[in-house]
């Protein structure tokens, strides 16, 4: 069973569209994250939720809205997509404070045309 699963794996869409990426973890972890990896491979944190509560909200355009219906799920909705949003988006989870490393999902490659 995949520990952290993301869907879809690939997403090609036109500018101005709205799209969502879903993430689910079956590890029983308390904390989940969204990271953006650009073409230079830099991993930039976007959001973090702990037990459904938003605890990290980096400087991200408000076109990006995370939603955590329960602690096993963290979805990312993006409105009015722009060319610069093209990147790989990784979901990750972690047990909690001081509890070891992240487990990453397989990533969603978003291409905005």
Give residues in contact with other proteins (CB under 8 A): 31, 40-43, 45, 48, 50, 55-56, 90, 97-98, 100-107
Q: Which residue's entry shows tokens 């995949």?
A: 2
Strand boundaries in 26-72, DSSP class E: 31-37, 43-50, 53-57, 64-70
Nearer to other proteins, 5 or 79 (CB): 5
Nearer to other proteins, 79 or 106 (CB): 106
Q: Which residues of 45-54 are buried (b: 16+ CB within 10 A; e: fewer)?
A: ebbbbbeeee
Min separation Cβ 101 and other proteins, Å = 4
Min separation Cβ 18 and other proteins, Å = 26
Q: Which residue's entry shows tokens 């308390």?
A: 30
Provide φ and ψ at 83, rounded to 5°.
-55, -40
Min separation Cβ 61 and other proteins, Å = 20
Min separation Cβ 79 and other proteins, Å = 25
Nearer to other proteins, 48 or 68 (CB): 48
């Amino acid at each position: 069973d995949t520990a952290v699963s993301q869907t879809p794996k690939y997403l090609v869409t036109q500018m101005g569209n709205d799209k969502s990426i879903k993430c689910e973890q079956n590890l029983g972890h308390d904390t989940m994250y969204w990271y953006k990896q650009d073409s230079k491979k830099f991993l930039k944190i976007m959001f973090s939720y702990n037990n459904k509560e938003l605890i990290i909200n980096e400087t991200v355009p408000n076109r990006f809205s995370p939603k955590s219906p329960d602690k096993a799920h963290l979805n990312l909705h993006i409105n009015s997509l722009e060319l610069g949003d093209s990147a790989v988006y990784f979901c990750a989870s972690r047990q909690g404070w001081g509890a070891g490393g992240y487990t990453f999902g397989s990533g969603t490659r978003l291409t905005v045309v």
